[in-house]
Amino acid sequence: MSTPKKYDVYLMPGLAASPLIFERIALPSDRYNVHLLEWQIPLEAESLTAYAERLSKKVTGKHIILIGVSFGGILVQEMKSFVKPEKVIIISSVKSNLEFPRRFKIAKTTKAYKLLPIKLLLNVEQLAKFSFGDTINKRLKLYEKFLSVRDEKYLQWSIEQVILWNRIEVDSEVIHLHGDADEVFPPKYIKNAIWIKDGTHIMILNKYKWLNENLPKIIERNENELENTGS
C-alpha cells in the first residue's frame, strides 16, 4: 500500500505583515507540513525577481504548495519558476497588473509612489491604512501585532515593487481566492477567482474557518466541493 502524499505548504504574508497573520490557519498535520515565510530586508537595487529567487532558497520539499497573501501573493507567483511547486494559491491578491485598481495605475504613471512619506508609514496606524485599507480604527491593537516589518528600506522597496509589477500575462495555473468585499483590490477588476462571500482584504484573519475547511480541497484538487460561503 502506497504512503499518502504529504505536502510542504509555505505561507507568505502580505506587505509589512508578520507570519502571525496565519496563526489561525490549521491544516491537518498528517497531510501537511506548514512552513511560515518571512520578509527579508531587500539588498541594494534588488529586483523582485532576484528577491524571489533569494527567498526560494528557503523552500524545500517534494510536494510544495506556495500560498501568498496580498503582496505575498505577487511574490509567490515570482517564486514559482524557481521552486516548481505543485500549486500556487494567492489570497486577496492579483494575478497581473491588469487587475490593479486605477489608483495603482495612476501612481505608476505619475510616480506618486516616490512621494509617499515612508517615515510616516512606520507609524502603525498609517501602515495599517496602507496595507489593509481604511477601516482599521477599532482594530489598531490587532494590526500592531500583525504589522511587524517597519524597516524604511523594506517599505520603500515593497511599495515600488507592487506599483511597478510588470506582469501582464496571467498564469492560468495560479489559483486565486478573493473576497467579494476586498477594498484594496476591488472585485470589479478581478477575473477568474474563487469568491469568498463578505471577504475583505484581511480575510486571512477573519475568514480562517472557510480557509481551514476549503484549502485542503483546493490543494487536493477537489474545488467542486468548496463551500459557497465565506462565513
Q: Decide which of 197 and 127 is more confident.
A: 197
Return the pLDDT at 164: 94
Q: Report the sign of the C-alpha dihedral through residues 52, 173, 14, 24, in that order.
A: negative
Quote the pTM value.
Answer: 0.88
Residue 135 has pLDDT above 70, yes or no: no
Position 148 confidence tier, pLDDT thresholds 50, 70, 90: confident
Q: Which residue has the cell 475583505?
A: 200
Residue 143 has pLDDT above 80, yes or no: no
Q: Decide which of 207 and 152 is more confident.
A: 207
> Is residue 109 helix, strand or coil?
helix
Least confident of 18-27, 45-54, 133-142: 133-142
Q: Report the sign of the C-alpha dihedral through residues 147, 190, 161, 91, in that order.
A: positive
DSSP conformational letter for 86:
S
Position 133 confidence tier, pLDDT thresholds 50, 70, 90: low
Residue 54 has pLDDT above 60, yes or no: yes
Residue 229 has pLDDT above 70, yes or no: no
Q: Decide which of 79 and 119 is more confident.
A: 79
Residue 231 has pLDDT above 50, yes or no: no
Q: What are phi and psi of 67, to 5 degrees?
A: -125, 125
Position 137 confidence tier, pLDDT thresholds 50, 70, 90: low
Taking only the tens place, the pLDDT of each residue in 151-194 is: 889 989 998 999 999 999 999 999 999 999 998 899 999 999 99
Taking only the tens place, the pLDDT of each residue in 106-124 is: 888 888 767 555 554 455 5
Q: To the nearest whole percent, how much of the chain has pLDDT over 70?
A: 81
Mean pLDDT value across the chain: 87
For residue 89, give the H/E element and its range.
strand 87-91
